[in-house]
Amino acid sequence: MQEQLTMTLPLALAGAADKPWVETAPGQAWSKLLWADPQAGAWATLYWWKKGYVAQPHVHLSDAHLFVLSGKLQVRDGVYGPGDYGYEPNGAEHGATTTLEDCTYFFVCNGPLRMNADPATGRPGYEVTCADIVAMHAKATVGNAPQTSMA
């Protein structure tokens, strides 16, 4: 199975090397938009997060899938590492996601995410939609791309 995965993965990510990394959190997180269907509200992205990056608590307003390519993420009480798959059903809510090691993962989201407000910092809650992701990548400039062996 591992050999089959190794042989298939580069094909699944064909063209990813030509897409730009977009910095989403200064010096901490980047993404590559691989595919988007604005009419359906769905998108597929590669994320590269540095060790120590923490994604804020949020609610999945649609099904989402992730597959870890390298590194480790802590989600709730579990740790996802290379080769691990995660599924978040519509309505799934969780606290912060912590990057335990520099991590690259593939993410497919079938609709918006609602980022929770943080009263302690005064940060308001907001939604992230496919249109937001597409717009961010369209206007971003290629900057400090992460040093990673992934596409």
Number of domains in the chain: 1
pLDDT value for 17: 78
pLDDT value for 49: 96
Q: Is residue 6 part of a domain?
A: no
pLDDT value for 139: 81
Q: Which domain holds residue 32?
A: 26-139
pLDDT value for 14: 57
pLDDT value for 98: 94
Q: Is residue 69 part of a domain?
A: yes
Q: Is residue 131 part of a domain?
A: yes
Q: Is residue 68 part of a domain?
A: yes
Residues 6 or more apart whose CB falls under 8 angstroms from that of 55 comprise: 29, 49, 96, 97
Buried b (16+ CB within 10 A) or exposed e, 42-75: bbbbbbbbbeebebebbbbbbbbebbbbbbbbeb
pLDDT value for 100: 98
d(CA 123, CA 126): 9
Q: Which residues of the chain have pLDDT under 70?
A: 1-14, 141-151
